Amino acid sequence: MTAAALTADDAGPLAFFKALHDAYSQTLERFRGNPRLIDAVLSQAFDSFEGNVALQSEGQPEIACHKGCATCCTLRVSATSPEVLLIARFMRAARPALARMGIDLEQRVFDADKITRGLDEAARVKLRRRCPFIEKGACLIYAVRPLACRGHASLDVRACVDAAAGRADSVPYSEPHMVVRSLVQNAMQSALRDAGYAWDTQELNHALSMALRDDLEPAWTAGADPLAAATIADEIGAAEMARTFDAIKAA
């Protein structure tokens, strides 16, 4: 069974998590030692997210997000190690095309990291600095954007504008996007952990700055945690998450 075929409706969230976990585990086992490991596990994650969000969003209010709107792209972005490494690879491959457009995306990430490193979520909101990937209102890494960005879908563009300007504290977000993102990402992290890979989340600017300076894929695929310095410290800790994963699998 492929992960994309699973639905939270069919099985309930916990069973959905377990089924996703098992599907990821099979992929991680099949691609162990294969240079396509990261592509395989993230294709599975992104397909599972898109397919299940579409199912869960049926009959729900329409999403206000649209191409050219990057109002919310000032928030802190978290990403798992494979997501960071895939984006770094994508950026290296896109370097010549971006250079022809006069864009030095790597320098933009380094510059952003100098300003955002170590800031918590509240400080990032206050800073109102746009993500380094925004170009003319669009995301330059849209095809490989992290699950955190995929799961952030607004129902009210006016509320986004007000929140970005500091005039409102909250934005109505799509519940299916948030729930499916959590299940898809956490099941992947749980499977990575069981397979012996680093599975925590990192702050995107900091982690990418590290991954762009050195090729960290060999270390990560060998079971090391080369992006550990960029781990977000003010969110739920790894020990608590690991306990939750184990409790779900045992339920």
Work out the end-to-end distance of the chain between its first and last CA atoms, rounded to an integer number of angstroms: 21
Strand pairing report for 138-139 and 78-80: unpaired
> Which of 103-111, 115-123, 128-136, 219-227 is the region at the interface with ligand SF4 (rule: CB under 6 A)?
128-136
Least separation in angstroms between residue 7's CB and ligand SF4 is 25
> Which of 15-23, 133-141, 217-225, 231-239 is the region at the interface with ligand SF4 (rule: CB under 6 A)?
133-141
**CB environment 51-86: b (16+ within 10 A), e (fewer):** bbbeebbeeeeebbbeeeebbbbbbbbbbbbbbbbb
Least separation in angstroms between residue 131's CB and ligand SF4 is 3
Residue from the set 38, 41, 70, 153 that interacts with ligand SF4 by CB under 6 A: 70
The beta-strand segments (E) located in the chain are 78-80, 134-135, 138-139, 201-203
Residue from the set 76, 108, 124, 145 that interacts with ligand SF4 by CB under 6 A: 145
CA 156 to chain centre: 22
Binding residues for ligand SF4, how many (CB under 6 A)? 10
Give 62's DSSP letter: P
Give 129's DSSP letter: P
* 168 binds ligand SF4, rule: CB under 6 A: no
How far is residue 81's CA from residue 131's CA, in Å, rounded to a whole number? 19
Least separation in angstroms between residue 76's CB and ligand SF4 is 9
* 141 binds ligand SF4, rule: CB under 6 A: yes
Least separation in angstroms between residue 191's CB and ligand SF4 is 24
Q: Are 4 and 44 in contact (CB under 8 A)?
A: yes
Residue from the set 131, 163, 164, 192 that interacts with ligand SF4 by CB under 6 A: 131
Residue from the set 19, 23, 73, 153 that interacts with ligand SF4 by CB under 6 A: 73
User: Which stretches of the chain bind ligand SF4, using CB under 6 A?
Assistant: 70, 73, 77, 131, 133-134, 139, 141, 145, 149
